[in-house]
Each structure stands twice: as structure tokens, then as C-alpha cells.
Amino acid sequence: MVVGDIATGTDVVVIGGGPAGYTAAIRAAQHDLDVTLIEKGTYGGTCLNHGCIPSKALLHATDIAQQATDAEQFGVSFDEPEFDLPTMIDWKNDVVGQLTGGVEKLCKANGVNLMEGRAEFADENTVRVIHEGAGQGGETVEFEHAIVATGSRPIEVPGFEFDGELVLSSRGALALETIPDELLVVGAGYIGMELSTVFARLGTDVTVVEMLDDVLPAYEDDISRVVKGRAESLGIEFNFGEAASEWTEDGDGIVVTTETEDGETTEYAADKTLVAVGREPVTDTMNLEAAGLSTDENGFLQTDEQLRTDIDGIFAVGDVAGEPMLAHEGMHAGEIAADVIAGEPAAFDNRAVPAAVFTEPEIATVGLTEREATDDGFEPIVGKMPMQASGRALTMEESDGFVRIVADEESGFVLGGQIVGPEASEMIAEVALAVEMGATLEDLTSTIHTHPTLSEAVMEAAANALGEAIHTLNR
């Protein structure tokens, strides 16, 4: 302890107030444990402040504009949409503020002690909370259990340090006050694709360069193809097999040089560039070594099924504890860690974590693909329902995409699903439930789905796998 520090004790200290951390803190408090949540920025973490929520707000706002334009074909005409970006950003900030304020209130209402500052371990039972800036002093918190939930941050490409002006991270892009005429996006992963969509709809000329040879390399070809087609129709240009190597200022703008594997270089001029090549765990702020913690070769804290690290009493949840770096995974892990600390027989034994990409159209997946199922020793059967055959999709003029269900042939157990199409992020919940429950194809096909809705496509795809589909030809 440093002289002058104020020392307190607590049952559970949670480091980081993002989705994983605040969920863990609230659940632990619900277990009547004394909980201290330490946050150095704003409650809600990346997701609420700089990720999922602001990006979805902007995607929605710009989607309205897009729909207004598209409505002409069914006889509804508007004038050309006009964008008032500062208003849009204010509205987005209001949404974010409402949610982060809600998180803070929920924490307090559940009896969580909130502390502001950066936490660092002093030893395996103590953290120091350092208040940055004026005042300097610190506080020492002794804990029985610690839950590390420090999250992740965008990876910086060497030479492309984020400056908030010309070289933007996703966070910077979501806070822009003016619409750039030209935007170069480095990286065609889900963040790059979502933000490209936002800016393309705002009228920006968007060019995407990607080191690999396709958009959304983590997804199957027939899925990424649908999204890429729609992105191109929004005017987004793609250049594959190129890595950003350096940039120079050019007047008010930027010129980025890319290089192929063969050393061929290309120069792109733009107002700004957005670098979205992935995220990395935040582990360098909290003096891990003092607690005896260390990271694995990918920089993550390793945990077991009960989210315990190697050090007794210290847990890790959320992005800092490894892939997949998804808010809902972190929230579930946060609950489990708190339950485990409270002595409940909880474990993160989930079969599958759903994932969604809010492109146009959306992508959502859960569980195993056909290939993964084969690799895992199953003999999978697959059923597909194209959105073209969905009455509801046609009435929405949103007939790109499909629902695919993967199941074990012998038992009929649903192993996974891939959806690309309108509201895919909502539809995937049913498939996730099926995978988690150990439901069979028959369970899905025997459940009556509302007509006319998009969710019927899940039932139809399951029926297609069984060779019993009515609205598609059984393959």
C-alpha cells in the first residue's frame, strides 16, 4: 500500500464496466456479495459507447434513407434524403447516454459500489485504483475474488496510429461530425463492412482494401457473396490481396499506399482512412504480473470452464478472456463467474455462441457449419430456404439471402445454422435455442411459426433438411 491510500475490502472486485463486467457485478450483488466495480472510462464499455450500440444506431438511421430511396419501385417517392450528421450523432449519443446511464443506475440499485479510475494489481488479493490526472491519490481495494473484464481495443497497424483526424479507428469513425467525400476502409471484416455500409449510405465514396481475398473471410462463400453483392450495389469498391503499408498527408486528405504479396503498390487518395483489422485484448493496464497472471500467446487471459484463471480467486470474462470477442458471450460469462463465486454449480458449457453482422443484408450464425460438423465427426444433413421463397421477405423487398440449418443425420439434432437476409440477427435466436436445447429438426418443423414472417424460413430450412419442405424443392 502506498502511504496516503485509502484501503477498503470487498468480496468481489470487477475490473472493467463493459457488458461482461457490469453483468458480473450486478449478478454478484444479487448474490448478496459485496461488489466493487472499477471503470476507468464510461460504463457500458466498448459495446455501448464505441461499438455495437452506436454503430447500430447509425446503421438504422442510414437504412431509413436507403429504404426511402428504394421505395420508389413500389410507388412511394421521396425527395433525395438530406443528412444532418451532427444531429444524427447527437441522437446516437442520446441513445448511448440512455443506456450507459441505465447501466450505472442498475449497478447502484443492485448495491454495486462504483469506483472510477484505473485498476492495477498490487498482489493477488489487492488492487490499487489510480485516479488519473488531478488529485493523483489512489485507493487500495483488498478482494476475495477478482473478475477481470478489461475488454479489447482496435488493433493498430504499424505506421497507422489512430489520430482521430486522418487515421480513424471504429471509435473515431462513429464520432465523425462531417461526412467524408471519400473514405478508405482497411479491412473487410465485420467492423469494416458495417461502417462501410453506414458511410456508403451517407453518400461517401467508400473503397475497401483487404489483405485476404474476400469480404468477411470468417464466413462461408455463399454468405459473404450475398453481402458483397449488396455492398457493391451501394457503390462500395473492393480491392483484395492488398495490405496498407504507409500513408502521407495530401492537403486536407490522405494518400494510403497498399502493397500486394508480390510487392505491387497502389495509392489511394481519400479524405480519411478507417483501419479495422481486428481487436486485441487489453491486458497492459493492470499490472497482471503482480497478481501472478500471464497471458497466452494470443495475449488473452486463459480461463477454465468456470472462468477461473490460473490464480486462485481471480476470474476473467469477456473479450480479455479470448475469442469470440462478442458482448453477449461476455455477459453470459460474467453471470457464470458471479454464480461460481457465489458457490453455484455454474459453468460456461454452452454449445454455441451466436454471432451477427449488421451488414446489408444481415448475417447471423450459430453453432457448426456443414464443414465443421463433418470435421467434428458428424454426418451432417443440411437444409436451405432461400429468402426468394419467403412471402414476407418479398413483401419487404428484401429477398436476398437464405436460411441454412445443419443437423446430425442420424439423430436429427440441430448442430448449427447460418442466416443471411433481413433480420437475420433476430432469426438466429431460434436456431441458437435449438442448438442449446438439443432440439431436433423435427422439433423445429413441428413448431408452428407465424405466417407471414421471416421466421418461417427457419422451419422451412429444417423441413428441407428432412426432405419434407413444402415451399422449396427438397434436395
**Binder among 323, 394, 395, 475 for another protein (CB under 8 A):** 323
Considering the complex, state which of residue 103 and residue 353 has its C-beta at the smaller distance from another protein: 353
Among 239, 302, 447, 453, binds another protein (CB under 8 A): 302
CB burial of residue 156 (10 Å; 0-12, 13-18, 19+): middle
Q: Which residues share a beta bridge with 143?
A: 10
Name the segment binding another protein (CB under 8 A); options: 166-174, 193-201, 388-396, 408-416: 408-416
442 lies in the site for another protein, by CB under 8 A: yes
463 binds another protein (CB under 8 A): no
Cβ closer to another protein: 154 or 354?
Answer: 354
- The residues in 420-439 that bind another protein, with binding defined as CB under 8 A, are 436-438
Which residue among 31, 449, 451, 471 is the active-site one? 451
Shortest distance, position 299 Cβ to another protein, whole Å: 11
- Please state the closest distance from residue 469 (CB atom) to another protein, in A: 20
Amino acid making up residue 429: A
352 binds another protein, rule: CB under 8 A: yes
Which residue, 303 or 472, is less far from another protein as judged by CB? 303
Output the smallest distance, CB 323 to another protein, in A: 4
CA distance 417 to 435: 9
Q: Does 277 bind another protein (CB under 8 A)?
A: no
Q: Does 37 bind another protein (CB under 8 A)?
A: no
Residue 412 CB, nearest approach to another protein (Å): 6
Q: Does 310 bind another protein (CB under 8 A)?
A: no
Q: Does 124 bind another protein (CB under 8 A)?
A: no
| Shortest reach from residue 350's CB to another protein, in Å | 7
Q: Binding segment for another protein among 28-36, 147-155, 251-259, 293-301 (CB under 8 A)?
A: 293-301
State which of positions 79-108 bind another protein (CB under 8 A): none
Told to check if 258 binds another protein by CB under 8 A, we report no
Closest CB 402 distance from another protein, rounded Å: 21
Residue 296 C-beta: closest distance to another protein, Å: 6
- The binder of another protein chosen from 143, 348, 358, 402 (CB under 8 A): 348
Is residue 60 annotated as part of the catalytic site, yes or no? no
Q: Are 103 and 22 in contact (CB under 8 A)?
A: yes
Cβ neighbours, 10 Å, residue 197? 26
- Near another protein by CB under 8 A, which window of 55-63, 104-112, 256-264, 364-372? 364-372
Give the C-alpha distances (Å, rounded to integers) separating 17 from 41, 150, 402: 8, 8, 37
User: Is residue 440 at the binding interface for another protein, with CB under 8 A as the rule?
Assistant: yes
19 binds another protein, rule: CB under 8 A: no
* Residues contributing to the site for another protein (CB under 8 A): 296-298, 300, 302-305, 321-324, 326, 329, 345-353, 367-368, 372, 376-378, 410-413, 436-438, 440, 442-443
Residues noted as catalytic: 451
